[in-house]
Amino acid sequence: MTEFKLVTPREVIMGKLSYNGDLLEELTKVAVSHGVVLGRIEAIGAVQKARIGFYNQETREYRFLVFDQALEIVKLAGNISLKDGKPFVHAHITLADESGKSYGGHLAEGTIVFACEFILEVFDGPAFNRCPDKETGLTLWSI
């Protein structure tokens, strides 16, 4: 069954992340430092290397791909909610190499920033908490 709640835009935080920082960790630090528990995030830029995941629906496990090369961030899109009572960034990323070939998946730790500009839209509304979902094996919103 589809579940949803109305939220209200509160503020927008824009910035750039640290060179050589871990992309996922840096985005999480921004959310934590601003007390963001409900939001939407997007980013563009470039990474020095990347680690992205693909969820195998049969085995219910993530498989990770590592790219030890410079890549452009074509699009990063995600959200911020609560997991275990703390702000949690869940993002997917599309990356492109110098020939234009694209790779995409779940953003994972180990993706190192070359340059990254982000926009974080913060919402007011009821907390969206992540809980184990029996049907998928994923940790999804409990709304």
> pTM of this prediction?
0.95
91-132, pLDDT tens digit by residue?
999 999 999 999 999 999 999 999 999 999 999 999 899 999
Taking only the tens place, the pLDDT of each residue in 62-78 is: 999 999 999 999 999 99
d(CA 58, CA 95) in angstroms, rounded, equals 26
Specify the DSSP element, H or E, that contains 32.
helix 23-33
Question: Is domain 22-123 in CATH 3.60.110.10, yes or no?
Answer: no
Name the maximum alpha-carbon separation found in the chain.
44
Domain ranges for the chain: 22-123
Q: Match 């234009």 to its residue by tokens.
A: 100
Paired with 16 in beta bridges are 117
Within 13 Å, how many C-alpha atoms sit on residue 35's CB side? 3
pLDDT value at position 143?
83
143: CB partners within 8 A, 6+ apart: 3, 4, 5, 126, 128
Cβ-contact 7, 38 below 8 angstroms: yes
Asked if 125 and 6 count as a contact pair (C-beta separation under 8 A), the reply is: yes
Whether residue 1 has pLDDT greater than 90? no
For 14-62, write each residue's pLDDT tens digit: 999 999 999 999 999 999 999 999 999 999 999 999 999 999 999 999 9
